[in-house]
């Protein structure tokens, strides 16, 4: 290539207004794309971080979520004595009967309220979720209307903060703790005592699901088969991890829309880059002719203008990445079509996503630069020298 | 015995401009020997610049032969022509044609980027060329920070930095005041006389032509007459 890159950089600096306008257009496109990817990545990370690899979720056959599943105490008694279930130090099996329902929580952004998952469970259920710890306050006490809220909710909903009261069911519930579930779905849920919730909701005989832990991986599949095959139960059994991973599909419409918008914007940005580069070629026609007279080949000219286009878009890519950086760890929520409740999670801007944004910017650089660069390379020397 | 460095035989260049068929050069037979300083003169449209462009391998003839430094330029492909120009030709433009974003030193170094020289060697060569044209103290100046005369001297330094066999100048004094033109012509004369460079210069100016050892007159694309310069 031989034509020094400093030649391209200085030309970009000299026409700094055009350079910045084009780069900003590209930056916005990259920012839109990265925001969508950061959202999906945050959701995916959160969902894949939820669950223990040996956990099995047992739900009514045909139920797609705990919310529309049902489970009786009798079924639970049958399940908890199955072979292959790990035990707690006190000898009790690691099996948690749970009730999942939704409550409506208002926020300044959503005055009409949004569905939030409320999970009733026992101390066994809480103990089985080792990735959840009480970050503030304390654990709820059995037999009391007490709640422990996920930190994501506490952050987003003023009404769900420690010390507040929530009014649902048969009375007021006190928020006595905030739990930190790492990146997991527990951050989007509210935990309370199973018996208290079941009583409040008149669902003592209609609970939701059972979470059990297998002793090891080898016995996990056998246990799941056993549960599914047991005619008395009429239950499905899935690994807890796969249950949550399947919910990543909630982000599919947003991902599709985001990518669609980004592609439309990218086409526009590529044209902007192309326009800028065509103007650069036209303005520097005599320089192109001079470089050819000095001995630089058509290929050298092509590469030089391509590099300039790539540098322009690289600048746009960097600005785009910087624009979305403040989004990193920003807590947001998304409605799940599976659980019919909001799932809170943090935007995650990973190095991989930034690399994807830069690659996207470079693709725009290639698309925008190819035609102007090849037109520069195709110019006949004398024609180029005569053009002003 | 002097060696012919440029030989044209029945050299013809035609092209279409605005739907009109133009004969820029017709059957030109010209021989220029090693070490000559030749001025090509003639009115506008006489074909002198076209002839210079064909010698510089910047364009291809319609018919006829052109042999420069024993190389038939008709036989060269695009890439070979570019390489050949870099190795053998130093070209000086009327409008200097310096790269505006590059300093004097970088402009002069530019043709050396196509050689195998290391950065340090390229700088040394460029500095030598700039010192030769008397601009050793202006190396970091951008073209816009130089006078027209200084710009043309940088252009001359760029033309000689690769130590080319031929120096071709297209109206090198056309955009200069009298004093700067005199400096530029003196430099070309020095390159021819002291360094043995073959120089071919297109000019309108009889004074500029007087620096040449031979003057070739063209009219309507035809080589009319050749005569020793008045100064000879």
Of B59, B100, B110, the CB nearest to A294: B110
Overall average pLDDT of the A272-296 stretch: 92
Decide if B152 contacts B92 (C-beta within 8 A): yes
Q: Residue B1 pLDDT > 70, yes or no?
A: no
Which residue, among A274, A236, A244, A277, has the nearest Cα to A117 in the 3D structure? A244
Decide if A104 contacts A114 (C-beta within 8 A): yes
Overall average pLDDT of the A187-204 stretch: 92
In whole angstroms, give the CA distance from residue A179 to residue A197. 19
The rounded mean pLDDT for chain A is 90
Burial group, residue A351, by CB count within 10 angstroms (0-12, 13-18, 19+): exposed
In whole angstroms, give the CA distance from residue A65 to residue A117. 12
First to last CA, chain B: 20
Local confidence band at A259 (pLDDT 50, 70, 90 cut-offs): confident
Q: Is A4 on the interface with B (CB under 8 A)?
A: yes
* B 169-188: CB under 8 A from A: none
Structure tokens at A60: 């009514």
Of B89, B91, B101, the CB nearest to A14: B101
Q: What is the pLDDT of residues A101-151, one digit of tens each?
A: 999 888 777 788 888 999 999 999 999 999 899 999 999 999 999 999 999
Of B56, B78, B97, the CB nearest to A290: B97
Q: What is the pLDDT of residues B100-153, one digit of tens each?
A: 999 999 999 999 999 999 999 999 999 999 999 999 999 999 999 999 999 999
pLDDT at B232: 47
pLDDT at A48: 80
Overall average pLDDT of the A200-219 stretch: 91
First to last CA, chain A: 25
Within A213-251, residue ranges assigned H as helices are 217-229, 240-245
Lowest mean pLDDT among A51-60, B71-80, B169-178: B71-80
Of B79, B87, B91, the CB nearest to A293: B91
Local confidence band at B26 (pLDDT 50, 70, 90 cut-offs): very high
Interhelix angle A252-283/A351-378, rounded to 10 degrees, is: 30
Q: Residue B189 pLDDT > 90, yes or no?
A: yes
> How close is the nearest chain B Cα to the Cα of A294, in Å?
6
Structure tokens at A240: 């807890």
Decide if A357 contacts A34 (C-beta within 8 A): yes
Going by their DSSP bridges, the two strands A235-239 and A171-180 should be labelled as unpaired
Who's near A178: CB < 8 A, 6+ residues apart?
A134, A135, A136, A137, A148, A149, A150, A151, A154, A161, A162
Higher-scoring residue by pLDDT: B125, B231 = B125
Q: Residue A338 pLDDT > 60, yes or no?
A: yes
A-chain residues near B78 (CB < 8 A): 297-298
The structural domains of chain B, with segments of one domain joined by +, span 4-228
Of B102, B106, B114, the CB nearest to A295: B114
Q: Which of A15, A294, A296 to mutate to probe the B interface, most B CBs <10 Å?
A: A294
In whole angstroms, give the CA distance from residue B92 to residue B152. 8
Q: What is the pLDDT of residues B157-183, one digit of tens each?
A: 999 999 999 999 999 999 999 999 999
Virtual CA dihedral for B159, B164, B170, B171, nearest 10 degrees? 70
> How close is the nearest chain A Cα to the Cα of B232, in Å?
32
Overall average pLDDT of the A242-250 stretch: 78
A-chain residues near B83 (CB < 8 A): 295, 297
Overall average pLDDT of the A220-236 stretch: 91
Decide if B130 contacts B136 (C-beta within 8 A): yes
Local confidence band at A293 (pLDDT 50, 70, 90 cut-offs): very high
The CATH fold assigned to B4-228 is Rossmann fold (3.40.50)
Decide if B57 contacts B68 (C-beta within 8 A): yes
Decide if B224 contacts B218 (C-beta within 8 A): yes
Q: What is the pLDDT of residues A349-365, one digit of tens each?
A: 999 999 999 999 999 99
Q: Is A381 on the interface with B (CB under 8 A)?
A: yes
Q: Residue B230 pLDDT > 60, yes or no?
A: no
pLDDT at B116: 92
Overall average pLDDT of the A367-373 stretch: 94
Q: Is A379 on the interface with B (CB under 8 A)?
A: no
Q: What is the pLDDT of residues A62-109, one digit of tens each?
A: 888 888 899 999 999 999 999 999 998 888 899 999 999 999 888 777
The dihedral of CA A52, A56, A60, A62: what is its sign? positive
Which residue, among A268, A221, A254, A222, has the nearest Cα to A337 in the 3D structure? A254
Burial group, residue A256, by CB count within 10 angstroms (0-12, 13-18, 19+): exposed
Who's near B121: CB < 8 A, 6+ residues apart?
none
Overall average pLDDT of the A214-242 stretch: 91
DSSP per position, A247-306: GGGGGHHHHHHHHHHHHHHHHHHHHHHHHHHHHHHHHTHHHHHHHHHHT--HHHHHHHHH
Decide if B90 contacts B168 (C-beta within 8 A): yes
Overall average pLDDT of the A245-271 stretch: 82
Q: Residue A387 pLDDT > 90, yes or no?
A: no
pLDDT at A227: 92
In whole angstroms, give the CA distance from residue A17 to residue A23. 10
Q: Is B67 helix (H, G, I), strand (E, B) or coil?
A: strand
The structural domains of chain A, with segments of one domain joined by +, span 5-48+249-386, 62-233
Which residue, among A275, A268, A278, A260, has the nearest Cα to A27 in the 3D structure? A268
Structure tokens at B111: 């043709």
The dihedral of CA A285, A290, A292, A293: what is its sign? positive
Who's near A91: CB < 8 A, 6+ residues apart?
none
Q: What is the pLDDT of residues A7-48, one digit of tens each?
A: 999 999 999 999 999 999 999 999 998 998 898 888 888 878
Q: Is B83 on the interface with A (CB under 8 A)?
A: yes
């Amino acid at each position: 290539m031989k034509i020094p890159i400093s030649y391209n950089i200085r030309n970009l600096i000299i026409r700094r207004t055009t350079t910045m306008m084009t780069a900003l257009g590209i930056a916005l496109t990259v920012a839109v794309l990265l925001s969508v990817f950061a959202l999906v990545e945050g959701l995916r990370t959160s969902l894949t971080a939820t669950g223990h690899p040996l956990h099995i979720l047992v739900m009514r056959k045909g139920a797609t979520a705990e919310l529309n599943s049902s489970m009786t105490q009798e079924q639970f008694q049958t399940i908890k004595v199955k072979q292959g279930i790990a035990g707690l130090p006190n000898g009790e099996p690691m099996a948690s009967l749970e009730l999942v329902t939704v409550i409506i929580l208002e926020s300044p952004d959503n005055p009409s309220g949004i569905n939030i998952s409320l999970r009733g469970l026992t101390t066994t259920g809480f103990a089985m979720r080792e990735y959840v710890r009480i970050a503030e306050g304390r654990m709820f006490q059995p037999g009391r209307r007490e709640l422990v809220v996920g930190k994501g909710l506490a952050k987003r909903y003023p009404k769900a903060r420690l010390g507040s009261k929530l009014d649902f069911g048969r009375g007021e519930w006190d928020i006595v703790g905030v739990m930190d579930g790492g990146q997991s779905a527990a951050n989007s849920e509210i935990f309370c005592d199973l018996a208290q919730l079941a009583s409040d909701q008149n669902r003592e005989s209609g609970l939701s699901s059972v979470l059990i832990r297998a002793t090891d991986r080898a016995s996990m599949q056998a246990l799941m088969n056993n549960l599914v095959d047991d005619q008395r139960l009429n239950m499905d059994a899935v690994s807890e991890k796969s249950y949550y991973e399947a919910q990543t599909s909630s982000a599919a419409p947003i991902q599709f829309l985001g990518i669609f918008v980004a592609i439309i914007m990218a086409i526009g940005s590529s044209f902007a880059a192309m326009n800028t580069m065509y103007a650069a070629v036209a303005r520097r026609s005599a320089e192109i002719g001079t470089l050819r007279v000095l001995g630089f080949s058509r290929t050298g000219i092509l590469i030089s203008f391509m590099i300039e286009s790539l540098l322009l878009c690289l600048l746009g890519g960097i600005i785009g990445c910087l624009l979305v950086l403040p989004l990193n760890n920003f807590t947001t929520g998304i409605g799940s079509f599976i659980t019919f409740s909001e799932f809170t999670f943090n935007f995650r801007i990973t190095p991989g996503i930034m690399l994807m944004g830069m690659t996207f910017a470079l693709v725009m650089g290639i698309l925008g630069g190819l035609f102007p660069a090849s037109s520069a390379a195709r110019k006949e020397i004398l024609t180029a020298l005569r053009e002003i | 015995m002097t060696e012919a460095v440029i030989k044209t035989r029945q050299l013809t260049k035609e092209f279409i401009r605005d739907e009109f068929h133009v004969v820029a050069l017709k059957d030109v037979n010209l021989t220029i020997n090693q070490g000559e300083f030749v001025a090509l003169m003639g009115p506008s449209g006489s074909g002198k610049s076209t002839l210079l462009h064909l010698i510089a391998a910047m364009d291809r003839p319609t018919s006829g032969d052109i042999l420069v430094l024993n190389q038939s330029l008709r036989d060269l492909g695009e890439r070979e022509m570019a390489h050949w120009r870099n190795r053998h030709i130093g070209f000086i433009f009327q409008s200097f044609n310096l790269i505006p974003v590059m300093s004097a030193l970088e402009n002069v170094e530019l043709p050396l980027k196509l050689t195998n020289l290391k950065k340090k060697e390229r700088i040394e060569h460029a500095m030598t060329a700039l010192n030769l044209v008397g601009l050793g103290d202006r190396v970091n100046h951008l073209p816009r920070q130089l006078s027209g005369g200084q710009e043309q001297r940088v252009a001359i330094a760029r033309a000689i930095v690769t130590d080319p066999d031929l120096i071709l100048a297209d109206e090198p004094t056309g955009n200069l005041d009298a004093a700067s033109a005199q400096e530029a012509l003196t430099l070309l004369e020095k390159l021819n006389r002291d360094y043995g460079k073959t120089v071919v210069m297109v000019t309108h100016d009889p004074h500029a032509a007087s620096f040449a050892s031979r003057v070739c007159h063209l009219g309507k694309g035809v080589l009319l007459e050749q005569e020793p310069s008045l100064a000879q």
